[in-house]
Chain A
Amino acid sequence: MKLSNLPVPVNLDTVANNLADPLFLVNRDKEVNWLNKKSRELFHTSDEDAQGAVITELTGIAKLDSLLDDVFEQETELKCSYEEASVKVKRQDQRYFFKISINPIFHEGELWGGLVQFTDVTRFHEMEKIKTDFVSIVSHEFRTPLTTIIVGVEMLKEGMLGDLTPRGKEVLEAIGADCERLSRLIDNLMELSRIESGTIYVEAEPTDVTDLVQEAVRPLKFQAEKQGIELITDIAPNLPPVAADFNKAVWVMANLVGNAMRYTDPGGTITVRVRQRGKRLFFSVQDTGCGIPKEHQDKIFRKYVQVSGPGRKGTGGVGLGLAIAKDIVMAHGGEIWVDSELGKGTTFTFTFPVYYGDESVKLPEAEEKGG
């Protein structure tokens, strides 16, 4: 099916100018060669003014510079699109959020430039904000009644409010354990809503790797011992510091080790390793647990997905830990993945960049000034 074969004359301009999304064609020097009607409207410009202007100046979105560099340096056909690269643009007192996709354009085998497409995700952002606020309010509201329950249960359990029958004690233990679960759920929901609201910053500071690992592992050692699991740390000598937000990095590590403990049987081993490869440090948590079925491996970093193994039911998790861990690692410019074999065990690995200088990253996206 071709445009030129239609019964009525429709040219490419007509199509481009009726698109709801702004579209730019830029050359390798990032100069605008063409733009559609929506771009002219949104960025208050004309064909004449836009012609030859550098796209970052025309749009006021400085971030485009590095995004275009990324595409131009790859020199290969990229599938696009930069999911993480949505930018905030303020125009006439209205805020827009765009997702930016860039497709490289080749001419006679040479990279000529790129097609820059903005997709309006403002409505999506608004919905996210409503959801985030809701989660925050709900988790806040849960804390007060939970206080009464936990304090009461603990006092009863300790026998400070009178004697209990053995069955009564058993029931209280169960209530106590489920309260812990609820508390953990609330903490995780809050953490997630904080990350999603973009109001927190990841302050990447030079962070000592041994400190990081020890801080995460220390509180879990006792529990591991109680479960009959050997917890080993294996940190290569003389590692440089990583650029990381200490508390958040500790959270990620502790979460992975905690997960490993939930899926490892007594007599098993959990090994925390840190190695350097190039400008990155690789942190891995390897267990000898039940493993994760292949079909679940690509799903486990999604929200509200529980890792389940053969013959195992829910383990008290809420399916948020890994989603949060991924958000945190990615905000540091790192990566996280899983290798697992059923019956043999699982290894989670994440990377953090080696610290080279002053840097700080904001979650989840850079804010750009416009108009």
Chain B
Amino acid sequence: MAKKILLAEDEKNVILGVRTCLDAVGYQIEIVEDGEQALDSVRREPPDLILLDLLMPNVDGYEVLKELKGKEETRDIPIIVLTAKAEEEDRQRAMDLGADNYMTKPFKPQELWDLLKNYLPEHDA
């Protein structure tokens, strides 16, 4: 079955890029443009995996991590951070908050697909 991915990202062009990338391999994708919407969406219908930007309006990615990884019912949803923040401190902070992986922009589609395959092995388009 096709796996569902929630993309939390506020840059329109990046959304287009990632969406194209995920469509190509048959993932179902839901897009939200800030952290608050991300939390709402997870509450409504938990995805199989979250691709999370860190710098977003309202509630930022760190807050989303804290909230989701701090709760029993959402703790097990894999969260991959997709961010332009390449400093080691940012990576460490995200990993400390429970991020499952951390990918810095820019990245190639193949790198994203490989990473997703690790967390969603039974995905079937």
A interface vs B, CB < 8 Å? Answer: 139-141, 143-152, 154-155, 158, 160-161, 179, 183, 187, 190, 194, 200
Name the CB-closest residue of B to A145.
B13
Q: Is the interface of A mostly helix, strand, loop or mixed?
A: helix
Task: Check B106–A155 contact: CB distance below 8 A.
Answer: no
B 105-123 to A, binary, CB cutoff 8 A, 1 in contact else 0: 1111110000000000000
Choose from B13, B17, B18, B24 the contact partner of A160 (Cβ within 8 Å): B24
Can you pick out 23 interface pairs between chain A and chain B where the beta carbons lie within 8 Å of each other?
Answer: A139-B86, A140-B84, A140-B85, A140-B86, A143-B86, A144-B11, A144-B13, A144-B84, A147-B17, A147-B106, A147-B107, A148-B11, A148-B14, A150-B108, A151-B17, A151-B106, A151-B107, A155-B21, A155-B24, A155-B109, A187-B86, A190-B87, A200-B88
User: Cβ of B84 and Cβ of A151 under 8 Å apart?
Assistant: no
Asked if B92 CB lies within 8 Å of chain A CBs, one says no
Could you tell me if B24 and A190 are in contact, using CB atoms closer than 8 angstroms? no
A96 to chain B, nearest CB (A): 27
Q: Does B16 contact A (CB under 8 A)?
A: yes
**A-contacting residues, B1-55, CB 8 Å:** 11, 13-14, 16-18, 20-21, 24
Number of interface residues, chain B, beta carbon within 8 A: 21
Residue from B85, B88, B105, B106 whose CB has the most chain A CB atoms within 10 Å: B106
How many Å from the CB of A152 to the closest CB on chain B?
A: 6
* A150 and B106 contact, Cβ closer than 8 Å, known pairs A144-B84, A145-B13: yes
Most chain B C-beta atoms within 10 Å of own C-beta, residue among A147, A149, A154: A147
Bound: A149/B14 CA distance, A = 9
Task: Give the docked Cα–Cα distance between A227 and B72 (Å).
Answer: 52
Is B104 an interface position by the 8 A CB rule? yes
Most buried by A among B88, B105, B110: B105
Q: Choose from A147, A161, A200 the contact partner of B14 (Cβ within 8 Å).
A: A147
| A150-B87 in contact (CB<8A) | no
Whole-angstrom distance from the CB of B58 to the nearest CB of chain A? 19
Residues in A whose Cβ lies below 8 Å from that of B86: 139-140, 143, 187, 190
| Chain A residues with CB under 8 A of B20 | 151-152, 155, 161
Query: Measured between alpha carbons, how far is A146 from B86 in the docked complex, in Å?
Result: 14
Question: In angstroms, how far is the closest chain A Cβ from the Cβ of B104?
Answer: 7
Residues of A within 8 A of B17 (CB): 147-148, 151-152
Closest Cβ of chain A to B17, distance in Å, is 4
Cα distance, A150 to B108, chains bound together (Å): 6
